[in-house]
Chain A
Amino acid sequence: MQLKSFISATILAGTLYSPIAFSSAPAPTAIINNYANIALATYEDALFSAQHLQQSINTLLQNPTPVNLEQARHAWIAARVPYQQSEAFRFGNSIVDDWEGRVNAWPLDEGLIDYVDTGKYGTESDENEQYRANVIANTSLRVAGVEIDATDITPHFIAEVLHEADDIEANVASGYHAIEFLLWGQDLNGTNSGAGNRPATDFSLDNCTGGHCDRRRDYLQAATQLLITDLQEMVGNWQDDGAARQELTAKEDNAAIATILTGIGSLAYGELAGERTKLGLMLHDPEEEHDCFSDNTHWSHFYDAKGIRNVYQGEYSRIDGSVVSGPSLSDFVAAKAAVADQNMHNKLIATEAAAQAMVDAAGRGQTFDVLIGENNPQGNQIVQRFVDSLTDETQAIENIIAVLDLDNIQLAGSDSLDSPEKVME
């Protein structure tokens, strides 16, 4: 406590009084430009890896063997690496936040899409009339009392008709998690070890299991194509004349810096620490993990946290090994308040270590859904440490916002501030 007040007093003095000779801060425009370059590179990598996923899925559909299914699953996991790092750009940039629901909406009522085990899934939901619509098995469905033709499963049908049908958020028809469900199927192991185990023959025209394999193939192909189209759109948004880059660069310097900080703070706290981690810990429910079919949540969380670090330090390692880097927020803060910058670095490193502990646990068979189990106090502790480190990191960001005197900046068009929603926490 004493330490904290000491730090904030020091920072305050550093900002306004500058009794120490500090190195000069990079210009905000240079930081913003580098930030946008990293966003572009990250979305390009997400697109490349999604294209690779599409090739693997085509191979699977040509020859639905267990080996080819496994390869497609690996491609999906690889595709998550850049995408999760891109989430640091989501909050604050309204163009990204408005788009995000199409590619990474979660959690989903997967019974909308395909067969489910009702013993685990249940038979109905308070909120969702399409809870078990199973569009793969049915060529029509009812939405708000209206009969809808579902004969052809196309990208357009998924995006425009099925996704968020009846305005229900849990009706997730597109994006990474819909594809994940098709590749893995439900995880029926509860809080025990093991992921979804859909057989490759669910995609076989000759030895079809699970029924309606032709429609399941159509669905997988259409959802994958849609993901690529959506990612192409976001790559375009960050190119030189792209809308997201333009929107950011049009802002006042301070407002742009505030947008960047809001983005990483909102991801760290409300979304990653709260919604995606602590909630699962309190519900002890295996469905309450971000990648619940594949049990890849540890890596998704690791790379989410990494994305925050990329943004703050102004450096991104691409999937081909090359590095995009430039003037960073860290340089900017360091020049004005070295202690606040050092504090943030420490918190980023602590968060990465806490995420790594979840990755290591998963390597020993303790995946996220096992860690959050009701009778796994040690596992719960590992997850709690990740929550705590993100909370500390958020305080470090708040501290930076305070010392840069950005807390009164109006963040126009930020969904995360204008209309957030979240479990009362």
Chain B
Amino acid sequence: MKQASSPLWPTLLGAAALLTLSGVLHAAPSELQWKNHNQSLVSEHIIPRYQHLADSSAALASSTAQLCQQPDQAHLDAAQQAFHHTMDDWQSVQHIQFGPIENLMRNFSMQFWPDKKNLIGKQLNILLEQQNPDTLETAALYKASIGVKGLPALERLLFTGQLDELDNNSYRCQLTHTIAAYIAENSAATVSEWQQEYSASVLQAGSEESYYDDHQEAAVSMMKSLVEPVEAIRDQKILRPLADAEKVRPRRSESWRSERSVRNIQLNIVSLQNLYSGNENSVDLLLRQQGAAAQADKISALFNELVTQMKNVSGPFTTSLYQPETVVQLQQISAALKQLDQELNAAMQTLDIQLGFNSRDGD
């Protein structure tokens, strides 16, 4: 320590004076405003979305159980539909990357992607070859690789291969069901932890029991969920498959096997828009209260524009990416996302929110 044991009381006094001052000078949202904002987001945005995911993944688990009992085309179709519902609900809450979804690496367990080295295929093949009955318990999946226990592994099992591979209650079919059951368990645990201790922690920020020092710190997690996905969607879901446009790479797109890459992005953007302005005490409102109506208008307009643009993109990427029209549309969407990212980062300064490093810095 360069300045060892200086008396601390002048510093503390200084801090108190400064905090009072900064409230006046910066006109950043007050603790009460952040508290109301966080409360709305938890009850109107986060918990309902995790509840949907818990419901649809429970339905997926029972649908895959029925498929193994009666492996015909109708039951496969039903299981695929159930997968789509679960994926819809996951894509609508994928942006929330803090809280219970971080426990036990649930977020990665739910979806490891992109898989640049084909590890999911490799690890899944090893399981299918070994046919070890021990892996057919959800308990075994808790310690297994994130490659073999999430939605991408399930997608491979349900959307590639032949129906007859699922016959006779085969290992393949039972593994499919086990993964679905594991996803349902994870989703149920996530929503129940949110309903109990985690929403309490957010709402009582600053108390001894809370993970957060104050309401603004809790809001930082929420703001990361709004801002960081914009760049991630652009880079990973649009620019990587688009590659250099001369040679597009459909297999780099998310969920290409179930042909829902476009739908994923549509849901992501609508969900971010809802996070931004779809609730009482929204970020949009906070910006306006800080006197930054012009900023708020720009962001709202960009969201509206993106929602419309995405509606016009045809899928699946496995064929539509080869159409020049789709490439042009995606380039425009990419540009709009970049603008949205810049606007949102500027808005964070207005709101006095420091997002800090994100896990995608580097590489």
On A, residues with C-beta under 8 Å from B are: 1-2, 4-5, 9-10, 12-14, 16-17, 19-20, 22-23, 91, 107, 109, 122, 124-128, 144, 166-167, 169-170, 262, 265-267, 269-272, 274-275, 282-285, 287-288, 330-331, 334-335, 338, 341-342, 345, 374-375, 394-395, 397-398, 401-402, 407-408, 416-417, 419-425
Contact = CB atoms under 8 A, between A and B. Distances in A.
A217 B167 CA distance: 51
Contacts of B147: 283, 285
A408 B349 contact: yes
A265 B354 CA distance: 15
B162 interface: no
Interface in B318-359: 349, 354, 356-359
A269 B359 contact: yes
B163 interface: no
Contacts of B211: 1
Given A20-B10, A127-B118, A374 B144 contact: yes
B40 interface: no
A270 B359 contact: yes
A351 B360 CA distance: 20
Contact of A265 (B112, B210, B349, B357): B357
Contact of B146 (A13, A91, A282): A282
A342 B3 CA distance: 9
A338 B1 contact: yes
A282 B358 CA distance: 19
A270 B235 contact: no
B116 A422 contact: no
Contacts of B13: 19
Task: Select the residue from A170, A421, A424 with max chain B CB neighbours within 10 A.
Answer: A424
Nearest to A343: B1
Nearest to A416: B361
Interface in B104-136: 105, 107-109, 111-119, 121-123, 125
B118 A271 contact: no
Contacts of B10: 19-20
B8 interface: yes
Interface residues of B, number: 65
B169 to A, nearest CB: 26
Contact of B125 (A122, A338, A416): A122
A9 B121 contact: no
B212 interface: yes
B24 interface: no
B12 A270 contact: no
Contact of A425 (B6, B97, B114): B97
Contacts of A128: 118
B108 A282 contact: yes
Nearest to B247: A144
A419 B235 contact: yes
Contacts of A331: 2
Contacts of A420: 231, 235, 358, 360-363
Given A126-B251, A408-B349, A5 B362 contact: no
B362 A422 contact: yes
Interface stretch (B14-22, B55-63, B191-199, B295-303): B14-22
B210 A1 contact: yes
Contacts of A14: 11, 14
Contact of B236 (A124, A374, A421): A421
Task: Select the residue from B3, B125, B349 with max chain A CB neighbours within 10 A.
Answer: B3
Contacts of B305: none
A125 B243 contact: no
Top 10 closest pairs, chain A to chain B, by CB? A270-B362, A271-B362, A334-B2, A425-B359, A422-B360, A13-B14, A338-B3, A17-B14, A9-B15, A5-B213
A287 B126 CA distance: 15
What is the predominant secondary structure among interface residues of chain B facing chain A?
A: loop
What is the predominant secondary structure among interface residues of chain A facing chain B?
A: helix
B112 to A, nearest CB: 7
Contacts of A19: 10-11, 13-14
B105 A170 contact: no
Given A265-B361, A270-B358, A274-B359, A9 B12 contact: yes
Given A269-B361, A282-B108, A285-B147, A407 B354 contact: yes
Given A144-B247, A422-B362, A10 B15 contact: yes
13 contacts: A5-B213, A9-B19, A167-B244, A167-B247, A269-B357, A270-B362, A334-B1, A338-B6, A341-B2, A398-B354, A419-B235, A424-B113, A424-B232
Contacts of A144: 247
B214 interface: yes
Contacts of A4: 213
A91 B361 contact: yes
A288 B354 CA distance: 32
A284 B142 CA distance: 12
B87 to A, nearest CB: 15
Given A5-B214, A10-B11, 9 more contacts: A2-B208, A127-B118, A128-B118, A170-B117, A271-B361, A282-B105, A398-B354, A421-B363, A422-B359
A169 B252 CA distance: 12
A170 B119 CA distance: 13
B118 A125 contact: yes
B237 to A, nearest CB: 10
Nearest to A18: B14
Contacts of A170: 116-117
Contacts of B84: none
B122 A122 contact: yes
